[in-house]
Amino acid sequence: MKYLVIGAGGTGGLIGGYLAKKDLDVTIIARGQHLLAMKEKGLTIKTYGHPPVTLRNLKSVAEDELEDRSFDVIFVTVKAYSLDEVMGIIEQTSHSGTLIIPILNSLGAGTYLRENLSGLQIFDGCIYITGYISALGEVSQNNTIFRIVYGLNSPEVSNSKVRLQMEADLKSCGISVRYSTAITAEIFRKLSFTSAFAAVAACYDKQAADLQVPGVYRNLLESLLEELYQISVAAKFDFSRSQIIDNNLSILDSLSPDFTASIQKDMKQGKPDEREQLIFDIVRLAGRNNTDVPNYLRIANHFGYAS
């Protein structure tokens, strides 16, 4: 089995690193100084509760160094606004049996790829992990959760040898993996905290500490979570109020006080950001399900939303 990970940030770096720790055949695409450091010294992964591990068996390459290689499984871990940039790579490195799993903050990434790359086996997916680039050539994981959920919104499950082998490989590496036939609901639940926190934090330039205490910003976050719950009911995602509201408030209260949303950093640096996926797409989903979301709509309009 040959694995390709497109993107070497916290998510992609840790997926590639965990696979490489088990001596699996994995190639990871990176850029800039991060790539140069990985080529020179290997990729170092720091996992919560364990000593750092430097992996020199991980093949680190630039986009133009793939040549004519093809892979059995491709994990797409770039940000959603970069999907157009990597579609050529996906097409170039796939064969008829390749499994392609996008893992990013987007309800529609898999659909978008399927619409533009016909004839390929493209799933939808999400990941539960807290990872980040902690230095050039180094990624860190600051909790013990590492879970991938992927699938299609269909009761039919293709138990191909490649898919079953991939699941076995991931589990052997310490990565929990589960196939879902209701994957949009799974992604919505995963995004619910990221979206609500990012909306408040980015709109008002706040960090976790400002939302962890009673007051206007926590109240706004709770209002956004209530709107997300109402969307989930209308969309028949079958989540309880506790799963969307109470669980996400618990996540908030467990964060380091100085935690900020990555969208804030991107906005401050004038980089592309994920407002489309994290905020605008929630408003669009609410519209498709005839659900009023006045707080989400107000924040979306603040960031230039056009219906």
Over its length of 307 residues, how does the chain's per-residue pLDDT go in tens digits? 999 999 999 999 999 999 999 999 999 999 999 999 999 999 999 987 889 999 999 999 999 998 778 999 999 999 999 999 999 999 999 998 999 999 999 999 999 999 999 999 999 999 998 888 999 999 999 778 899 999 999 877 667 899 999 999 999 999 999 999 999 999 999 999 999 999 999 999 999 999 999 999 999 999 999 999 999 999 999 999 999 999 999 999 988 898 888 899 899 999 999 999 999 999 999 999 999 999 999 999 999 998 7
- The token duo for 302 is 């603040």
pLDDT of residue 143: 77
pLDDT of residue 68: 76
Superfamily of domain 185-302 in CATH is N-(1-d-carboxylethyl)-l-norvaline Dehydrogenase; domain 2 (1.10.1040.10)
What does DSSP say about strands 138-141 and 131-135: parallel, antiparallel, or unpaired?
A: antiparallel
For residue 226, the SS3 value is helix
Q: What are phi and psi of 45, to 5 degrees?
A: -115, 135
Containing 59, the helix (H) or strand (E) segment is strand 59-61
Domain 2-181's class?
alpha beta
What does DSSP say about strands 131-135 and 73-76: parallel, antiparallel, or unpaired?
A: unpaired
What's at 237, amino acid-wise? Answer: F
pLDDT of residue 47: 87
pLDDT of residue 61: 96
CA gap 237, 271 in Å, rounded: 33
pTM of the predicted protein model: 0.92
CB count within 10 Å of CB 166 equals: 21
CA gap 89, 78 in Å, rounded: 12
pLDDT of residue 256: 84
Spans of all domains in the chain? 2-181, 185-302
